[in-house]
């Protein structure tokens, strides 16, 4: 009996956060380093402008998953900082970002052929 061997899902591309529709794009900086930036805010808005900052940075491969620094925004002071976290692709092909102390965030990958660059995403 032969089985199918599937390629692991690529981290690069456009992802939509399931809980609020936040859209991010993960890009490869080097062969081993990635960065994720916000493309479109979701239903839950940031308390201040974070458009110039990556939401996830220093994304590097670690065995079968990645480690990263995730953006933390203090609501009252509009101060931002980064904390350590991890990223993995689940068996369902979703991206799971584990933000230690802040819970897990789940994203589904958007297939680029279905959307124009200027089109807003609706869930």
95-112 confidence digits (pLDDT tens): 999 998 889 999 999 876
Residue 118 located in a structural domain: no
113 burial type by CB count under 10 A (0-12 exposed, 13-18 middle, 19+ buried): exposed
Residue-wise pLDDT for 40-52, tens only, equals 989 988 888 888 8
Residue 5 lies in a domain: no
Q: What does the alpha-carbon distance between residue 104 and residue 122 come to, in Å, rounded to a whole number?
A: 22
Would you say residue 8 lies in a domain?
A: no
Percent of the chain's residues with pLDDT above 70: 83
**Residue 70 neighbours by CB under 8 Å, 6+ apart:** 55, 56, 82, 83, 84, 85, 97, 99, 102
pLDDT one-digit tens code per residue, 7-42:
456 899 999 999 999 999 999 999 889 999 999 989
Boundaries of domain holding 23: 13-110
- Residue 103 belongs to some domain of the structure: yes
Distance, CA of 118 to CA of 40 (rounded, Å):
10
Q: Has residue 84 been placed in a domain?
A: yes
Q: DSSP letter for 113, please.
A: G
- Count the Cβ atoms, other than its own, within 10 Å of residue 31: 6
- Look at residue 68 and tell me if it is in a domain: yes
- Residue 70, domain member (yes or no): yes
Q: Is residue 120 part of a domain?
A: no
How many whole angstroms separate alpha carbon 88 and alpha carbon 99?
A: 12
Q: How many domains does the chain have?
A: 1
Find the CATH number of the domain harbouring 24: 2.40.128
């Amino acid at each position: 009996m032969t089985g199918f061997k599937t390629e692991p899902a690529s981290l690069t591309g456009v992802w939509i956060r399931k809980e609020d529709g936040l859209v991010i794009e993960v890009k490869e900086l080097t062969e081993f380093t990635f960065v994720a930036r916000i493309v479109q805010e979701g239903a839950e808005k940031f308390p201040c402008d974070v458009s110039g900052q990556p939401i996830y940075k220093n994304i590097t491969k670690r065995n079968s998953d990645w480690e990263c620094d995730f953006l933390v925004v203090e609501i009252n002071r509009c101060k931002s900082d980064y904390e350590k976290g991890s990223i993995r692709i689940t068996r369902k092909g979703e991206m799971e970002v584990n933000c230690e102390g802040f819970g897990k965030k789940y994203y589904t990958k958007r297939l680029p052929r279905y959307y124009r660059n200027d089109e807003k995403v609706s869930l």
